[in-house]
Structure 1
């Protein structure tokens, strides 16, 4: 059985925080790979629609290209409508019956678990891995594998804001992504 970590998100844009979480979980749980799952339409928040799905995918591919155990899985981009984790895990388990899946969530999502679509069925299909996030509690009645991650306060919304304000985003995301964003004038004020 291969052990696969799953990290979902809009990745709008991906940043060093995403990479740090993926790398820490990979090593802590001794996984075989981490699959990044860019979603089409997140059910719990609005997608920014500032860039295309193709650009988000290109940025994600650039971010992980030098890490052999990172992979992009586009299963959620292949479906229309909200990207419910239950549907994704069901499809992944059908496609890859010999894999054990570990779904990585931040502490903000741990608090939100009772509201997840088909959470009781989902909890039987996948192991949840909760990573710490400042200002959020990690309390839940659901079984969660807790992993401490070095604190790195960065978010995709912070990066988008800084770009629109003309501020530096250096060290918040890989240089290759910064170059891609600049070359394509992404997130700049209109």
Structure 2
């Protein structure tokens, strides 16, 4: 079975994340996509706005309508900073028959060389890089060969959404309806998340 892994803070998860998962699923192709909300992301420069439990719950709500999507609480349960290498190693031990591919945005493609134990990680799995129109990505020929040879590019529909912009809209009192799944919208409202 081919499984795409989609890690992130998902703070909050939005329609762009779901479109990205579907684009990667079709491009590779993948049998399933497993969403893995991070506990404490190693390369993000800020603390998430919602706690890890709320981010996990929102991710579960957003993905429940698609049978090929699954949510793993692995990194949230682990606590602290989680590295993709550790997560992939654990998943490979649990699911030795599965073939894993890590789904990453163009920004993550650009910083892949900075990932913890990246050479060992690239030897274990493939990467699916999501190319969005107008979003610069390091050309394959400029990446180290051990990364470029393990990277598949998936074209992504153009959509101007980010978790940061969604948090800002909520803080400013603007609507985020239709930017996030309805179940996530209700959860954010019910729990007063991201309000200033």
Q: State the TM-score bracket (shorter-chain normalisation).
A: over 0.9
Alignment of 1:44-63 (within 5 A): 44-63=43-62
Counterpart in the other structure of 2:138? 138
Residue number in structure 2 paired with 1:82: 81
- 1:51 & 1:89 partners in 2: Cα distance? 25
1:41 and 1:47 in contact (8 A); partners too? no
Give the secondary-structure state (helix, strand or coil) at the position aligned to 2:66.
Answer: coil
Which residue of structure 1 lines up, in the alignment, with residue 193 of structure 2? 186
Query: Separation in 2 of the partners of 1:37 and 1:82?
Result: 13
Corresponding position of 1:30: 29
Task: Select between 125-134 and 85-94 the one with higher mean Cα deviation.
Answer: 125-134
Per the alignment, do residues 65 and 47 of structure 1 end up closer, same or farther by CA in structure 2, a change over 3 Å counting? farther
Q: In the alignment, does 2:171 pair up with 1:164? A: yes
Unaligned runs of 5+ in 1: none
| Mapping of residues 2-21 of structure 1, within 5 Å | 2-21=1-20
**Cα shift at 1:165:** 0.5
Task: Indicate the larger mover: 39-48 or 105-114.
Answer: 39-48
- Alignment of 1:154 with 2:161, yes or no, is yes
Which residues of structure 2 form unaligned runs of 5+? Answer: none
Question: 2: distance between equivalents of 1:83 and 1:47?
Answer: 15
8 A contact 1:132–1:138 mirrored in 2: no
CA distance in 1, matches of 2:25, 2:96: 20
Give 1:104 shift.
Answer: 0.5
Query: Residue 77 of structure 2: SS of its match in structure 1?
Result: coil
TM-superposed deviation, 1:46: 3.6
Is the Cα contact below 8 Å between 1:163 and 1:187 reproduced in 2? Answer: yes
* TM-score of the pair, normalised by structure 2: 0.91
Q: How many Å apart are 1:136 and its aligned residue?
A: 2.0
Measured in 1, the distance between the counterparts of 2:125 and 2:54 equals 29
Q: CA–CA distance in 2 between the matches of 1:138 and 1:62? A: 33
How well do the aligned residues superpose, as a CA RMSD in angstroms?
1.2
Query: Which stretch has the larger CA shift, 157-166 or 41-50?
Result: 41-50
4+ residue runs over 4 A deviation? none
- Superposed displacement of residue 8, structure 1: 0.4
